[in-house]
Structure 1
């Protein structure tokens, strides 16, 4: 499912919570609690879940998923990513992007040379980081800021990157 651009990953199940079938739900939404508003959400294997947030817990939510009634069923879902149809989501504001739209874009430098492709978008708390996968080399990690990514052209399938020289290091051209 991740390759399907009509679906956007909104969260993932981190395991069971409690003994009644509730799950530990990590939300990837800008407003984390809004994940339940986009239900039903679909798993990669096609199952559909309605969601009810039970309460906020450290780093996630305790949530009840339709059809999940035991701790064992909840534990089996650990690692399951949950998707919503893109049509159900609001359009991003100017200069905002869904991670799913960035993955797969060609990354070129300011001189027009192709560097690689966006393989992942990561957020470790200090802002988004783009992983640029370069054939035959280690991935390049760059901050997703206006200074290092001055152009995002979703329709054209590319981004322009201008990372500082120390990020590029001794890469072969």
Structure 2
């Protein structure tokens, strides 16, 4: 069993394909079919309990992807998995390039301004049409800081657990 650690959302089971337990999968990896190389998948086969699933087979089918989980040979049994998120351990993903980050690596970082004013910690991020946005919470406030490196985000130090931003603490 894998030690509890950070996990990354890489896709979702979105439907059924055929009658032999195949599943339609939406992938957020690049390229899309890369999702099958990251195993084990972490799924909730039993409500409230995460299970590691290895030996998943899959391939492109039409405009999407289909997957076959080992031992899942019945459409009705597979139907219970539709809607489930697919997670993998962070350690399975390749190291990002310089000045690129996985969101999971940024979550929890302390955020301070260029003047040293503490703004809080990164709760989560979300994408917009223009850029990603960092949600910083300090218990009292929530700040939305555009994740634009060189403009608002001045530095990210994962080893020190800190992000420095050029941001007005009053905003």
Q: Which residue of 1 aligns with 2:47?
A: none
Q: Does 1:53 align with 2:52?
A: no
TM-score (norm 2): 0.76
- Deviation at residue 95 of structure 1 after TM alignment: 0.8
Does structure 1 conserve the Cα–Cα contact (< 8 Å) formed by 2:42 and 2:52?
A: yes
Would the aligned equivalents of 1:54 and 1:64 in 2 still touch at CA under 8 Å? no
Alignment of 1:8-47 (within 5 A): 8-13=8-13, 15-20=14-19, 21-43=21-43, 45-47=50-52
Q: Please, what is the CA RMSD of the aligned residues? A: 2.8
User: C-alpha distance in 1, partners of 2:29/2:87?
Assistant: 11
**CA distance in 1 between partners of 2:27 and 2:129 (Å):** 14
Task: String of CA shifts for 1:108-127, please: whole Å, max 9, x gaps.
Answer: 11111111211112234543
Instruction: Check whether the contact 2:53–2:69 (CA below 8 A) recurs between aligned residues.
Output: no
Give yes or no for the alignment of 1:77 onto 2:81: yes
Contact kept? 1:108, 1:160, Cα under 8 Å: yes
Length-normalised TM-score, structure 1: 0.75
- CA shift in 2, pair 1:129/1:65, >3 Å: farther
Deviation larger for 140-149 or 151-160: 140-149
Distance 1:140 1:78, change over 3 A: farther
The residue that corresponds to 2:132 in the other structure is: 128
* CA distance, structure 2, for counterparts of residue 68 and residue 141 of structure 1: 43
Q: Based on CA coordinates, which of the two structures has the bigger radius of gyration?
A: 2
Which segments of 5 or more consecutive residues in structure 1 lack a partner in the other structure?
none
Task: List alignment gaps of at least 5 residues for structure 2.
Answer: 45-49
